[in-house]
Homo-oligomer: A and B are copies of this chain.
Amino acid sequence: MTGERDGALAFRPIGVVHSPFGEPEDIPREWNRRKGAFDAVTGELEIFPEHAEGLDGLRPGAALVVLFAFHKAGFSHLKVTPPGEIKTRGVFASRSPHRPNPIGMTVVRLAARKGNVLKVTGLDMIEGTPILDIKPA
């Protein structure tokens, strides 16, 4: 690749989120503005078995960055109005899911690992969210 425009980059989910939130509408909108609102939300990151070995070394209590696809996001907007705000701003100055590349980033805390499944707290993703990557925070 060079500095020129490149074509599409393809990624495959490494796993899937299991969440008490079935749909985006199940998440109270104001929670996204309230620090710690998701702290008590628990769920699972099911990593596909062929990647399970890549989880070795993750310790309970660790904060994990999860990159995921906003798989229910609609069209991308370059200008957005965040919840509770009046002024519009550029999408790259926001966490809106409706972005040119609908990739989300969140931080969860690892409660326990059972093989290819991570039990986590602080979950703000919905059921069925495709997981792209996990990194130490």
* Interface residues in chain A, defined as those with a beta carbon under 8 Å from any beta carbon in chain B: 1-14, 16, 18, 46-48, 51, 53-58, 65, 67, 69, 71, 78-79, 89-95, 99-101, 103, 105, 127-128, 130, 132-136
Residue of B nearest to A4 (CB): B16
Chain A to chain B: the 5 pairs with minimum beta-carbon distance, closest first: A57-B89, A57-B93, A56-B90, A8-B10, A92-B134
Q: When the two chains form the complex, which single residue of B12, B56, B100, B105 contacts A89, counting CB atoms closer than 8 Å?
A: B56
Q: Please determine whether A8 and B6 come into contact, CB atoms closer than 8 angstroms.
A: no
Residue of B nearest to A76 (CB): B54
**Beyond A3-B18, A101-B132, A105-B105, is A56–B12 a contact (Cβ under 8 Å)?**
no
Residue of B nearest to A58 (CB): B93
Q: Please determine whether B95 and A78 come into contact, CB atoms closer than 8 angstroms.
A: no
Q: Chain B contacts of A57 at CB under 8 A?
A: 89-90, 93-94
Q: Please determine whether A90 and B10 come into contact, CB atoms closer than 8 angstroms.
A: no
In Å, the complex CA distance between A18 and B4 comes to 11
**Beyond A3-B127, A132-B101, A136-B95, is A55–B90 a contact (Cβ under 8 Å)?**
yes
Q: A5-B13, A6-B13 are in contact. List 8 more A-B contacts (CB 8 A).
A: A1-B128, A3-B46, A5-B48, A14-B100, A54-B79, A92-B133, A103-B132, A105-B105
